Structure formats: C-alpha cells, structure tokens
Amino acid sequence: MLGTDIIVQKVREIYFIDNVKFHVDVVECLGGFIEIEAIDESGRYSDEQLQSQCEHYMQILGIQPADLLSDSYSDMLKRLANTG
C-alpha cells in the first residue's frame, strides 16, 4: 500500500481565451503560479503556432523565460521542508 508523500494545498482558477487555457494557482507556502497551455485537438495549428500563442501571452503577462519552472509543486514543497 502506498502512503501519502506530501499534500499540496492550492486554489486553482481556469480561464480560456480561444484555444489557450490558463491555470492560475495559489499554492500554500509557495505563492502564485500560472500555466499557459495552447490546445489543439483538431489539428488546426502547427506546433510552431501553438508555441507562438504561449509566447504571446507570456509577453503580455511579463513572464520571462527565466521565470519558467519544471518542478512540480510537490517537489518544491519537499525542498522547502528540507531547508526549513
């Protein structure tokens, strides 16, 4: 049986602009995050177009490439717990 490793407590709001989905999260102990996801289920857009859509909204929101994270919330919380 698997146990609980860590609990992530967050509030999430989801918004759409056309085919672009925005996850706006506030994670307890970590702060605020946004995920921008360009979705194409119909094959209408190329990979380059989808990437361009994400970059467009990153620019509007003032998100720099250095701001991007690849860690999960649980990984960040574990690191925080180990440094505290």
The per-residue pLDDT for 40 is 96
Number of domains in the chain: 1
Q: Confirm whether 60 is domain-assigned.
A: yes
The per-residue pLDDT for 84 is 62
Q: Confirm whether 3 is domain-assigned.
A: no
The per-residue pLDDT for 23 is 98
Q: Confirm whether 28 is domain-assigned.
A: yes
CB neighbour class for 69 (10 Å; exposed up to 12, middle 13-18, buried from 19):
exposed
pTM: 0.85
Residues of the chain with pLDDT under 50: none
Give the start-end residues of each E strand in the chain: 10-17, 20-27, 31-38
The per-residue pLDDT for 10 is 97
Q: Confirm whether 53 is domain-assigned.
A: yes
Q: Confirm whether 36 is domain-assigned.
A: yes
Q: Is 51 helix (H, G, I), strand (E, B) or coil?
A: helix
- Residue 53 is part of which domain span? 10-83
Residues 6+ away with beta carbon under 8 Å from 51: 38
Q: Confirm whether 43 is domain-assigned.
A: yes
